[in-house]
Structure 1
Amino acid sequence: MTETDPKKDLHRYLKSAREALLWKVEGLSEYDVRRPLTPTGTNLLGLLKHLAGCEVAYFGDTFGRPFTAEPMPWLEDFDDDPSVDMWATADESRTFVVGLYRKACAHADATIEALEWDATGHVPHWPKERSEVSLHRILVHMLAETNRHGGHADIVRELIDGSAGLQQGNENLSPVEGVSWETYVARLEEVAREAAQAAGKSPGK
């Protein structure tokens, strides 16, 4: 059995999750890349902006490795607006936000490569009893965070133009041989209604 390096394994999966997220903002207009498509305002550029801050905070500040490549003044405004990092202003172009995210990830990568698996740091905004963390824990946390928001991006992009899948060339969608997506969705709707009727309830109740 081939031996594996846990730090390298998690880092590889994190890099893959980042690239999947970046793919979701390609080929869209400045309007589509930032417009809200859920009742809570979820939008693609906001997800990238948020995750750039997460990469900087968890792999930079936590381990005493400040990020100096780009100012991020909105990180000081959470008390006034907790959602300040979840959307991009009209002046923050896609090029800027994507570039910021790549710089933040590069800074994070340098931390991951420089520190040992069990290196410890401190997350100021976490409860005191669990604010001391290892690089291992932060890697797991950021992998979960990035994949969670990657799922949000999947849905938002599909709502914009129907584009779906994990990565370019590796969509990772269940094959529906000889059946259109419209037919497949209609079948699921029919099953949902049958289940609701069997439970003695009207659909949507």
Structure 2
Amino acid sequence: MTSLPHDQQADDPQAKAHLQRYLQSARDALLWKLEGLSEYDLRRPLTPTGTNLLGLVKHVAGTEAGYFGLVFGRPFPEELPWMEEDAEANADMWARPDESREDIVALYRRVWQHSDATIEELGLGAKGAVPWWHPERREVTLEQILVHMIAEAHRHAGHADIVRELIDGSAGMKQGNENLPSTEGSWWQSHYDRLEAAAKEAGQG
């Protein structure tokens, strides 16, 4: 019995739902890290390369718009000049003073809707092409791009977790499930001191 090519096979709805759930959990985590912060704290560069919370959201929004849009011939309908080839280096990784939190969050949510429509309408085996990838691996499937964007979004959600902790000490995996020991602040200081002592001991050989 001859099987159909992968892009013509019926989807496993549960498999697609699992992938979409993991993508959505990263989206939600990124936005949760913005809650309760001032405009200044949202934009503060907290690493030598300038990593900041609002810039992470702007970057992931632009990246997702490209992967679920142009890659499958369904371009996101809004212009994102910071994602163009001639854009200033790192233009997608920070927010200008005239770009508000509300603007960037609303854009990200519109990107979700566009992406989710692509995911809903195409099969996991649907073919696309990533023009900014090397020609030898440019051809992709929707399933591959879902996995890629899950990895991308969760990577940056991890960055956001560290940046938020540096701002005000808030940490955790997601709202309602911090995935951290339930302890008092004094325990964390003791834990920190213990790790610092261990690092020094190891460094001294």
Deviations 1:71-125 (A, max 9, x none): 322222x435231101111110000001111111111111111110100001010
Residue equivalent to 2:151: 144
Letter in 2 for 1:138: I
Letter in 2 for 1:54: T
Structure 2 residue 41 is matched with structure 1 residue 21 = no
- Structure 1 residues 169 and 138: CA distance shift in structure 2, 3 A: same
CA distance in 1, matches of 2:113, 2:169: 31
Q: 2:128 aligns with which of 115, 121, 130?
A: 121
Structure 2 residue 39 is matched with structure 1 residue 30 = yes
Secondary structure class of the residue paired with 1:121: strand
CA distance in 2, matches of 1:24, 1:169: 13
Residue equivalent to 1:73: 81
Secondary structure class of the residue paired with 2:39: coil
> In terms of mean alpha carbon deviation, does 4-13 or 26-35 score higher?
4-13
Residue equivalent to 2:194: 187
Unaligned 5+ segments in structure 2 are 1-11
Letter in 1 for 2:44: R
Structure 2 residue 186 is matched with structure 1 residue 172 = no
CA distance in 2, matches of 1:80, 1:152: 23
Structure 2 residue 119 is matched with structure 1 residue 112 = yes
Whichever structure has more helix as a proportion of its residues is 2
CA distance in 2, matches of 1:138, 1:52: 15
Residue equivalent to 1:43: 52
CA distance in 2, matches of 1:185, 1:170: 22
- Deviation, 1:176, is 4.7
Letter in 2 for 1:10: L
CA distance in 2, matches of 1:92, 1:39: 23
Secondary structure class of the residue paired with 2:92: coil
CA contact (8 A) 2:56 2:93 kept: yes
- Deviation, 1:174, is 3.5
CA distance in 2, matches of 1:178, 1:73: 44
Alignment of 1:154-173 (within 5 A): 154-173=161-180
- Report sequence identity in percent: 62
Secondary structure class of the residue paired with 2:25: helix
Question: What is the total number of aligned residue pairs between the two structures?
Answer: 194
The TM-score normalised by the length of structure 1 is 0.90
Alignment of 1:94-105 (within 5 A): 94-105=101-112
- Deviation, 1:177, is 7.6
Secondary structure class of the residue paired with 2:91: coil
Residue equivalent to 1:203: none
Secondary structure class of the residue paired with 2:42: coil
Letter in 2 for 1:181: W
CA distance in 1, matches of 2:45, 2:83: 21
RMSD across aligned positions (CA): 1.7
CA distance in 2, matches of 1:29, 1:165: 19
CA distance in 2, matches of 1:126, 1:184: 44
